[in-house]
Amino acid sequence: MNVAPVNTVAPTEMRSPTAQMSIRNVAKVFPGKKDLFSKVTGKARRDFVAIQDINLEIEPNTFVSIIGPSGCGKSTLLNMIAGLSPISSGEILLNGAPITGPGADRGMVFQNYALMPWMTVEENLRFAVKTVDPKSSQKKRDRIIKEHIQLVGLTGAERKHPHELSGGMRQRVGIARALAINPQILLMDEPFGALDALTRGFLQEEVERIWEQQRKTVIMITHSIEEALLLSDRIVMMTRGPAARIDEILEVPFPRPRDRETIQQHPAYHALKAEMESHLFRETRAVEAARAGG
């Protein structure tokens, strides 16, 4: 196999001078309840270490997918990268500077779209653009909004409210909104998780097309092996929680632009797929065994 798994190595060896984002020794601990009142009422909980020793260097213009068993801490990691959740220990650097909170240099696409229901498609984008760059001219904003609505193929739906759109169209708005602020990194937490298989396939191809145009750094969480193989340059596989780690990182060598049929012809496709399947199967079985045992 020409894609030998890259095992996690000591952080100093992994440091890359060209990396756009460096995740170093990051851990997340959800504090338990240990005060007297909780103890008396029997609600005391121990600290919960969700993820630990996460080290990851992300080069500019790469598409990185994170895959792992349910509940291992993928969203937790992404929320720390987004700055929505404090980092318990370690640090995350963006262009060499540590992340301390949310910022417009990172655009986020949410699993359940998170569109403002009282705003039309256009207003949702306008809210984002105007918040990020309040000093830009009206004309410039209009142009950016129009471009991005076009980019995701929603021309004609500008004046619709989210409840008048299908799930697939809503997520298109979500993607357009995240891209309209021109972030350095796009973060996506199971962006197609709530969609049916067919819509999901269409949207994956759309994202591939958009990525070819823009080549932004993307970090995407997914549960779908095919999705990860279609879109990513690197696939990060996480172990089960608690204290989940990165198990291995796969490099995906398929040439771009890609589509579903041609990548399946690639000699590495089936090996990669089998590797991911066995990893996910092993981890998920261990989770189930732990549940049955405990």
Ligand X SMILES: Nc1ncnc2c1ncn2[C@@H]1O[C@H](COP(=O)(O)OP(=O)(O)OP(=O)(O)O)[C@@H](O)[C@H]1O
Omega before residue 117 within 30° of 0, cis = no
Which of residues 14, 29, 132, 280 is near other proteins by CB under 8 A?
Answer: 132
- How far is residue 62's CA from residue 3's CA, in Å, rounded to a whole number? 17
Question: How many C-beta neighbours within 10 Å does residue 201 have?
Answer: 16
CA-to-CA dists, residue 90 to 19, 51, 64, 99, 162, angstroms: 17, 11, 21, 11, 39
Binding mask 148-187 for other proteins (x = CB under 8 A): -------------xxxx----------------x------
Which of residues 116, 274, 286, 289 is near other proteins by CB under 8 A?
Answer: 116
- Nearer to other proteins by Cβ, of 69 and 83: the residue is 83
Binding mask 93-112 for other proteins (x = CB under 8 A): ---------xxx-xxx-x-x
Question: How many C-beta neighbours within 10 Å does residue 128 have?
Answer: 22
Q: 257 touches which of Mg ion, ligand X, other proteins, none (CB within 5 to 8 A by kind)? A: none
Going by C-alpha positions, the residue among 76, 83, 68, 74 that lies closest to residue 21 is 83
Q: Does 75 bind Mg ion (CB under 5 A)?
A: yes
Tell me how far, at minimum, the Cβ of 76 lies from ligand X, in Å.
Answer: 3
Stretch of 53-61, 73-81, 129-137, 164-172 lying at the interface with ligand X (CB under 6 A) = 73-81
Which of residues 3, 114, 286, 289 is near other proteins by CB under 8 A?
Answer: 114
Which of residues 52, 65, 75, 217 is near ligand X by CB under 6 A?
Answer: 75
- Nearer to ligand X by Cβ, of 119 and 194: the residue is 194
Q: Does 117 bind other proteins (CB under 8 A)?
A: yes
75 token code pair:
């969203």
Which residue in the block uniquely carries the two structure tokens 């696409």? 109
End-to-end CA distance of the chain: 38
Strand order in the sheet with 234-238: 6-7, 246-251, 234-238, 63-67, 217-221, 185-189, 106-109
Q: 118 touches which of Mg ion, ligand X, other proteins, none (CB within 5 to 8 A by kind)? A: other proteins
- Give residues 8-47 in contact with ligand X (rule: CB under 6 A): 30
Omega before residue 242 within 30° of 0, cis = yes
Residues forming contacts to Mg ion in the complex (CB under 5 A) are: 75
Residues forming contacts to other proteins in the complex (CB under 8 A) are: 82-84, 102-104, 106-108, 110, 112, 114, 116-119, 127-128, 131-132, 161-164, 181
